Amino acid sequence: MAIFTTSENNEQRTELLNKKFPAYIDSTIPYLYLPLESCILFERAFGITWNEFVLAYLVNDSLRDTLLTENPSITFTLSNSTSESSPTIDIELPYAAFDLIAEQPLMKQATRYFPLMRASNASQYTLGRTFLQEAYLIADYERRNFSISPCSWKEGVQQDIVPNLSPELDHHKNSQQLQGPGLAGVIIGIVVASLGIAFALFRLAKRRQRRVGLRLKGESLVSEEVSERPESDHSNGVIVEVDGEDLPKPELHGMFLERYEVDGGTDGHNKA
């Protein structure tokens, strides 16, 4: 940012800032927070004095009359970087933008002051509402950018308000304007994709149906085999036994059996 002032009477240009620096734009404060060296250049150009008690640049009536007569303008040259090759824009402020009145609670009684503040460090460099009286600030949060333009005070200028549409609305609008071969290509692509999905689902269904059929067929064969076994027929009242010829016949082991004989006595007759 560069700042210079030009007097309306003698067209004398005075530099008010001898270097470029980044600064914030804040509409919540009325002041301009600038480096101390820039504030000293303002003091020399406008004859203002820093009041240590109230911490402000107060302007008495005689100095105000002089400044109104000279009607100097202050021009801010802004760019989006500190590079010399970066494009710039000039925002010109008349002295009326700096002719402000401080009231309670800042002052006990109404007092004119110059809205310039001495910044303690680079983090305080700010352009407040004094600057925004002569400039438009447009913030585009969705595109993550903002722009600054000077106000136009020309009489009879037609108002031209342009909406700042959301990127989503722009995309929807462009999609509605799709016609001709482009629209036909989109429709053909949708149809081909739908047929491909339908064919894949059909193949999957046939594969599942085949697996279910094989499982049912296996279960049917097992049930038929079980039903053919000739174990019993309860319906006709006939008991069907399993053929025992093929079964092994268990025999008693004869090694440990003892043989018993009847005692015949001495006379060879049985006693009753």
**pLDDT at residue 235 is higher than 50:** no
CA 109 → CA 55, 101, 106, 112, distances in Å?
A: 16, 10, 9, 10
| Listed ranges 15-19, 56-60, 176-180; the one with the highest mean pLDDT | 56-60
Per-residue pLDDT, 137? 85
pLDDT of residue 79: 84
Reported confidence tier of residue 270, pLDDT bands at 50, 70, 90: very low
CA dist 178 and 198 (Å) reads: 27
Q: In angstroms, rounded to a whole number, what is the distance separating the alpha carbons of residues 152 and 160?
A: 12
Give the global pTM: 0.58
In the predicted model, is pLDDT for residue 210 greater than 50? yes
Percentage of the chain exceeding pLDDT 70? 62
Confidence of residue 64 (pLDDT cuts 50, 70, 90): very high
CB count within 10 Å of CB 77 equals 15
pLDDT band of residue 33 (cuts 50, 70, 90) is: very high
